[in-house]
Structure 1
Amino acid sequence: MAARSDAPSTDPSAEPAPQRAVFRMPLIAVVLLPVLAAFCLGPIATVNVWWSLLLLVPVLIGVAVLLTRTVVDGQAISVHGLRPTRRLRWEELDRLEFSGPRWAVAVGTDERRIRLPMVRPRDLPVLAAVSGGYLTFTAPPEPGSEAEPADADTPDGETPPAPAPAATPLAEPAEPTTPSGGRTG
């Protein structure tokens, strides 16, 4: 029996690139942050009628968490949140900056900087796949793999021996001293 030509391929390299990626806060943050804020502000909000307006803070936190996201597609990177939507086309992107495990910062060719919420270094393969070729990503070689380049100065690519550490002379012990004006014996 012949295989159907419209059957999905099981080869992972044959899968089409995603058209769009959305990076947003986890659902637990949508629930946990407003509840925690309401719990902490509750005792203060019961003092007076005017203090009860503090209960709007958990609502604002929930709205901010729901709205904050980064949307990446083939044309641009868009950042949504409480502020107006900021958009940076792939042609205008100069580089992405990461400061440790923090959120990425997209830097435009005009030095405009846009923080990308929830985009971390581990998301670079997804960004490269969605960018449509504007962004490329090559995974770093794993430690112990044969991807390390051979040294060009040595014959046959052999690694030169490491230089021996320089010997440092040991300091001679200091002579014991007696305190001045003190008695001995």
Structure 2
Amino acid sequence: MAEETPQDNAPTAPKAIFRVPGTAILAVLFLAVCVTPVAFTLPGLQVLYLVPLALGAWVLRTRTTADGDGLTVRTVFGKRVLPWASMKGLSLTEKSKVVAVLGDDTRVALPAVRTRHLPVLSLVSGGRLDDPSGQLADDPGGKRADEE
């Protein structure tokens, strides 16, 4: 049996990945099946297959990753790293989507992150972001706020 080194036992920093559910690929495949009869009625309509192909790429690529260093936002064509130090905080849109507000008031959309994910972001950030829900608040009695 191999010996464990101290590095193997070191705790890993928390990391959270927010992405479109993988079951969305089933909808993309269904769309491809539905496009098939139309695509072969006239020459040149095979270009319609680009729609499910593009949607599949969006589902597989788009995500937000949070770790101890900051947020990494991946879109279909790019990637942006947002360190925790460069962020003022988070903001909500009318549709309950979460956006990061940077120091220069630039707003960056966080794909697949919703308001229910805010406690997780607070935990992963190591206290750099407050938890607005209060779910992670330490109570001296050992109870959470919703257990009272």
The answer to whether the Cα contact below 8 Å between 1:17 and 1:129 also exists between their aligned partners in 2 is: no
SS at match of 1:44: helix
Q: What residue identity is the alignment partner of 1:30?
A: I
Cα deviation digits, residues 75-132 of structure 1 (max 9, x gap): 1111112121012111111121113553211110111111111111111111011112
How far did 1:29 drift? 0.7
Q: What residue identity is the alignment partner of 1:25?
A: V
* Identity across the alignment (%): 36
SS at match of 2:23: helix
The answer to whether the Cα contact below 8 Å between 2:89 and 2:129 also exists between their aligned partners in 1 is: no
For the pair 1:31 / 2:29, whether they are aligned, the reply is no
Aligned twin of 2:142: none
Counterparts of 2:115 and 2:48, CA distance in 1:
37
How far did 1:36 drift? 3.0
For the pair 1:84 / 2:85, whether they are aligned, the reply is no
Structure having the higher Rg: 1
The answer to whether the Cα contact below 8 Å between 2:13 and 2:68 also exists between their aligned partners in 1 is: no
SS at match of 2:45: helix
Higher helix share: 2
Aligned twin of 2:120: 126
How far did 1:135 drift? 0.9
User: TM-score scaled to structure 1, two decimals?
Assistant: 0.62
Higher strand share: 2
Counterparts of 2:70 and 2:121, CA distance in 1:
11
Aligned twin of 1:19: 14
Q: What residue identity is the alignment partner of 1:44?
A: V
User: TM-score scaled to structure 2, two decimals?
Assistant: 0.75
Q: Structure 1 residues 18 and 101, CA, compared in 2 at 3 Å: closer, same or farther?
A: farther
The answer to whether the Cα contact below 8 Å between 1:35 and 1:58 also exists between their aligned partners in 2 is: yes
Aligned residues: 128
Q: What residue identity is the alignment partner of 1:24?
A: R
The answer to whether the Cα contact below 8 Å between 2:18 and 2:64 also exists between their aligned partners in 1 is: yes
Counterparts of 1:28 and 1:136, CA distance in 2:
32
What are structure 2's unaligned runs of at least 5 residues? Answer: 1-10, 136-144
Q: Which structure carries more relative contact order (alpha carbon 8 Å, separation 6+)?
A: 2
What are structure 1's unaligned runs of at least 5 residues? Answer: 1-15, 146-185
